[in-house]
Amino acid sequence: MKIALAQLNYHIGNFEANTQKIIDNIQLAKDKGADLVVFAELAICGYPPRDFLEFEEFIALCESAAQEIAKYCTGIACIVGLPIKNELLQGKDLYNAAYFIEDGAIKAIVKKALLPTYDVFDEYRYFEPATQFNCIDFKGKKIALTICEDLWNINDNPLYISNPMDELIKERPDVMINIAASPFSYTHDDERIKVLADNAKKYHMPVFYVNQVGAQTEIIFDGGSLVFDADGAMKAEMKYFEEDLQVFDLEEVENVRNKYPQSERLTDIEQIHDALVLGIKDYFKKSGFSKAVLGLSGGIDSAVVCALACRALGPENVMAVLMPSKFSSDHSVQDALDLVNNIGCMHEIVPIKDVAEAFDHILAPAFKGLPFNLTEENIQARIRGIINMAMSNKFGYILLNTSNKSECAVGYGTLYGDMCGAIGVIGDVYKLQVFELAKYINKEREIIPVNTIVKPPSAELRPDQKDSDSLPEYEVLDKILYQHIEKKQGSKAIIAQGFDEALVLRILKMVNIAEFKRYQTPPILRVSPKAFGMGRRMPIVGKYMA
């Protein structure tokens, strides 16, 4: 039996495009000699559909698309994911399901049992878990078909009390097939490989795994579909961050070692880079926009975002707006211009000195002679936000936010100023990782000016300002933030690692009191195991660690 894995980029709710893409790949797999082609979890509607699932029409369109797809399954079978109705009154109204389609008809239905409700997942909000399990008979083989999380209950701390494969194995299947929508983080590929290999070894059976690819607002799917033999040895690793279709012979997977080529493994920074480029590209394409605008300060954050945007959209579609103030250094303006010249994007220079002075003048009576402080710094940032949004409104550009994760964590940013935007490009990338990204972007030639990389970071909102005036050095700050955010460690556990007690308490308090700012920021492209946004839900008025 020849099995094709179709790793595709879907668009949530775009039934016409998704259906046509599935049909095209059924034909492609058929042309390549496949007996069965496998598509991802909720492929028909795209993942995650969220509250679209509450509309009866949405579910009806899924079913209609499946019936259209079935017409093309002649001479080849397919497995495709979609939401279906729960016909029982009790329980949730829907199942997360997969259709097995053969000879133009739906021959079997498999329902997902383990519904993740953690981090970015919220499946139990919509779906009823399956309680009955059966294999699928096809071409003399028994297929144990599972959906994503159904294979993940295999570690030392299981989240669920049951395991679908423990039931399916009773029917003595020949092969496991798992369809998934497994979001990207720079640690997740290794976890995914281990979980699937452990399943193959536990049940002593080949595993065919297909993941979707592409970005859905802040969630990025990296693809990397996989095949394992019954000993848990990886036999194939499909492309990352791009669509792919490959055909595998089940007998060869079982009996021949190292037949299929595997992708070269990417470093964490390479993965983050490719994920962010894909995230930008799909946000614009799926939203129907093509041109971006951002404020370009001469600093490293905006430089990296500008470079990523140019790679995703083309430099001709990126507008960089330089907005020097009376505190901007000459070298910052020149660094920004050097980047523009190196990369070839559009640019405008809009000085804000006169605007800031106008605010000083009109607010002077109300401020009653009080000295310059954070208020005037924030006014400058908000002036820049207004200018960026004016460019967006006037020319139809979409504003990219350039705040990094270190800044987002401790609230080092101005609401309605540098924190505005439609999508946060590097809001899940710590400052030290931003420096690594800059060096990676420059690996073939200088794109980001060297001076931008080596100079001390500064917001340049007051004379001789440096980030280190307000924040600990990033070498220390990022380590503490990582322990608190990704590792979920409290103050005592972090202090026990050798960090200064007063510093840890100060940083954790900054993180928690800044929650109100993060609540009002744009969605952030998720590249880490714990990103700000829907995957990290904190109370704004909570007292713990504040």
Q: What is the CATH number of the domain that holds 64?
A: 3.60.110.10
**In the prediction, which pLDDT does 140 show?**
96
405 three-state secondary structure: helix
- Taking the C-alpha atoms of residue 233 and residue 206, their distance in angstroms, rounded to an integer, is 9
Q: Within this chain, do residues 74 and 215 fall inside the same structural domain, yes or no?
A: yes
Burial environment of residue 132 by CB neighbours within 10 A (0 to 12, 13 to 18, 19 or more): exposed
Same domain, 135 and 181: yes
Range of the domain at 83: 2-257
Catalytic machinery residues: 41, 112, 148
pLDDT grade for 260, boundaries at 50, 70 and 90 = low
Q: Domain ends where: 257, 279, 304? A: 257
pLDDT tens digits for range 114-168:
999 999 999 999 999 999 999 999 999 999 999 999 999 997 778 898 899 999 9
Radius of gyration of the chain (CA): 26
In a domain, 159, yes or no: yes
Phi and psi based region of residue 46 (left: phi greater than 0; alpha: psi -120 to 50; beta: remaining): left
Give a yes or no: residue 137 inside a domain: yes
From residue 59, how far is each of 41, 51, 352, 427, 458 by CA, in Å?
A: 15, 11, 51, 34, 51
Q: Are residues 150 and 178 in the same domain?
A: yes
Q: How does the average pLDDT of the chain come out, rounded?
A: 95
Our count of domains for the chain comes to: 2
Q: What is the CATH number of the domain that holds 277?
A: 3.40.50.620
Q: Dump pLDDT digits (tens) for 13-48.
A: 999 999 999 999 999 999 999 999 999 999 999 999
- What's the predicted TM-score (pTM) here? 0.95
Domain co-membership, 114 together with 208: yes
Q: Do 431 and 292 share a structural domain?
A: yes
Are 302 and 191 in the same domain?
A: no
**Tens of pLDDT along 60-103?**
999 999 999 999 999 999 999 999 999 999 999 999 999 999 99
Give the pLDDT score at 157: 76
Q: Do 443 and 341 belong together in one domain? A: yes
Q: Would you say residue 182 lies in a domain?
A: yes
Place 457 in a pLDDT band, splitting at 50, 70 and 90. confident
State which H helix or E strand residue 328 sits in: none
Q: Do 351 and 209 belong together in one domain?
A: no
Per-residue pLDDT at 156? 77
| 266, part of any domain | no
Same domain membership, residue 111 and residue 18 = yes
Q: Above 90 in pLDDT, residue 463?
A: no
* 492-542 confidence digits (pLDDT tens): 999 999 999 999 999 999 999 999 999 999 999 999 999 999 999 999 998
Does residue 546 form part of some domain? no
* pLDDT beyond 80 at 320: yes
Residue 345 lies in a domain: yes
Residue 383: inside a domain:
yes
Report, as an integer, the average pLDDT of 234-253: 95
342 and 424 in one domain?
yes
Same domain flag for 81 and 103:
yes
User: Has residue 183 got a pLDDT over 70?
Assistant: yes
Task: For tokens 């430089």, name the residue.
Answer: 303
d(CA 104, CA 118): 37
Q: What is the DSSP letter of 415?
A: T
Tell whether the model's pLDDT for residue 258 goes beyond 80: no
Residue 159 and residue 121 in one domain? yes
In a domain, 392, yes or no: yes
